[in-house]
Structure 1
Amino acid sequence: MNDVVAKPLIVVTGASGGIGSAVAAKLGDSGYSVLATDRAGDDVLTADISSPEGISELEAAIEHRIERGQVLEGLVNVAGVLHPGKLLDLQPEQWEHMQSVNAQSVFRMTQLVARLMIDQRDQDPGNSRSIVTVSSNAGRTPRYGMAGYCASKAAATMVTRCFSLELAAHGIRANVVSPGSTRTAMLLGMNGEAEMNRASVAGNPAQFRNGIPLGRIADPEDIADSVAFLLSANAKHLTGIELTVDGGATLS
């Protein structure tokens, strides 16, 4: 058995983005074989998981790895999009796009991977298999001008936690990591560099937004560290939890 086949397989969606790329790199360094996917990017399987065709492409790629002898041990749902805008102005297609990528793909991918895990090896008493969804603290805290994103992330969080109940009998854990403001292209695109740091750390009372008590925006690697923990044996008795990684921004 070669080294790649001997490593446990982890699937990472949205792997070309800031958090997704950091997650893929962290897991690769931690001894996993990573099947990274995104709509575009270098060193990733190009597949649009918001479409049935993209899901089918990814399913074929995972099954090919399994046929080669790899053990499917994890999924990290990172893919996400944001269309800011007040509810009175938000276009239906923007709402639907966020729901499709941020929520529906979490359901589709988790269902797909969990079924493949069960088919490959059911009843794992060691709870070594794990699914992690990267959601957002906006999934439980209203945000001004971000209602579509908040709603889609709330759905992603809840469907993952419900999966945790149904998959527990199979020895599969399902947890959520909810970042706050993180230094990514998505956040930079909303505010610009200077405003990103000032507004995120200081908060915005006029928009009912708290600041960050720890005084800094998260780096993608901060989120990747939490994902890696929940995938690891160190979290073997954790399932159905939401780990909020936001420097204390949603403490109250």
Structure 2
Amino acid sequence: MTASPSVYLVTGAANGIGKAISSLLLQKGHQVALLDKDTKALENTLKNWPQYFQKNLSCWSVDLCNQQAMNQIIEQIESQIAPIKCLAHAAGILRLSPLLDMQCDDFHSVMTLHVNASFNLLQKVGQAMASRNHGAMVIVGSNAASTPRKNMGAYCASKAALHMLTKCFALELSEFGVRCNIVSPGSTRTLMQTQMWQQNFQEEQTIGGDLSQFRLGIPLQKIAEPMDIAQAVYFLLSDQSGHITMHDLRVDGGATLDQR
């Protein structure tokens, strides 16, 4: 019996973890819809992927904070391609600043994407999944959601809110057979990570930690690669995790000693 066509939706798909998730899904032969605000990055990603990926993907340039545009794209995917079976929500931004000095616009931009836009996305996709009594979502959070960081207050606060938002959606969607889980990366080799590095604080110092900044090191003695996170996301989207929901899977090499 041939399986019904379905699509995996990935946000933040042009770079970093979102790109790795998309690549892994395409390698596994799934139909994937890629969403990202960065049109040029999406185009560059497509150029560097194998030709055989092309038949199984569609790309959409959209600002997730634009609720109307995002809703229209989700409706188009559902009506023109296939029902959304799984969502991997990896879109994110970082604004570095001490909270005492931070501009309100920067704080609001982080909260708007990680909380407001995520609410709209999970609601819209969740409604479609609930109507079919099937589906799975994985939201890429952060180990910073439960660990205070200097100069990262907006990011930490927004990810903490995103984690609880996801768990509440998971609770409400569970009666419809829809699972919602979180993957919480630590330091991962992405543009977001390298923008935090300075002349005297780069990969080696990240691994070793910095007590002056109240940062533990990484016990596994390495930075995560985006594919490390993508593999964890794929597991939670797959039927192998069919009885797991509301879970926060920490993938940080032990950096937070798995404290929640």
For normalisation by structure 1, the TM-score amounts to 0.90
Following superposition of structure 1 onto structure 2, how do residues 84-103 of structure 1 map, counting pairs within 5 Å?
84-103=96-115
Contact 1:187 1:196 in 2 (8 A): no
Q: Of 18, 21, 25, which residue of structure 1 is paired with 2:19? A: 21
Q: 2:170 aligns with which of 159, 164, 169?
A: 164
Q: Contact between 1:106 and 1:133, CA under 8 Å: does it hold in 2? A: no
Report the alpha carbon displacement of residue 103 of structure 1 after superposing the two structures with TM.
1.8
Find the residue that maps to 2:138 and give its secondary structure: strand
Residue pair 1:7, 1:31 contacting (<8 A) in 2 also: no
The DSSP-based 3-state class of the residue aligned with 1:145 is coil
Which runs of structure 2 are paired with 1:170-189 in the superposition (5 Å)? 170-189=176-195
CA contact (8 A) 1:47 1:57 kept: no
| CA–CA separation in structure 2 for the residues paired with 1:76 and 1:106 | 11
Deviation at 1:6, TM superposition (A): 4.8
Aligned position for 1:52: 67
Q: What is aligned with 2:53?
A: none
Alignment pair present for 1:215 and 2:221: yes
Give the Cα separation in 1 of the matches to 2:199 and 2:23.
24
- Residue by residue over 1:220-241, the C-alpha shift from the partner in whole angstroms, topping out at 9 and shown as x without a partner, is 0000000000000110000000
Q: Is the Cα contact below 8 Å between 1:7 and 1:32 reproduced in 2?
A: no
Which letter maps to 1:179? P
The equivalent residue for 2:206 is 200
Partner AA of 1:144 in structure 2: K
SS at match of 2:99: coil
Counterpart contact for 1:202–1:212, Cα < 8 Å: yes
**Matches for 1:112-127 after TM superposition, within 5 Å:** 112-119=124-131, 121-122=132-133, 124=134
Unaligned runs of 5+ in 2: 47-58
**Aligned partner of residue 201 in structure 2, secondary structure:** helix
Counterpart residue number, 1:36: 34
Residues 1:171 and 1:193: Cα distance change in structure 2 (over 3 Å)? farther
> How many pairs were matched up?
240
C-alpha distance after superposition, 1:167-190 (max 9, x if no partner)? 000000000000000000111122
Going from structure 1 to structure 2, the CA distance change for 1:185 and 1:194 (only over 3 Å counts) comes to farther
Instruction: Give the equivalent residue in structure 1 for 2:196.
Output: 190
Q: Distance in 2 between matches of 1:34 and 1:223?
A: 18
For the structure 1 residues 30 and 202, does the alpha-carbon distance in structure 2 shift closer, same or farther, using more than 3 Å as the test? same
Aligned-residue RMSD, C-alpha: 1.8
Percent of aligned positions that are identical = 39
Residue range with higher mean Cα deviation, 42-51 or 21-30:
42-51
Deviation of residue 81 (structure 1)?
0.3
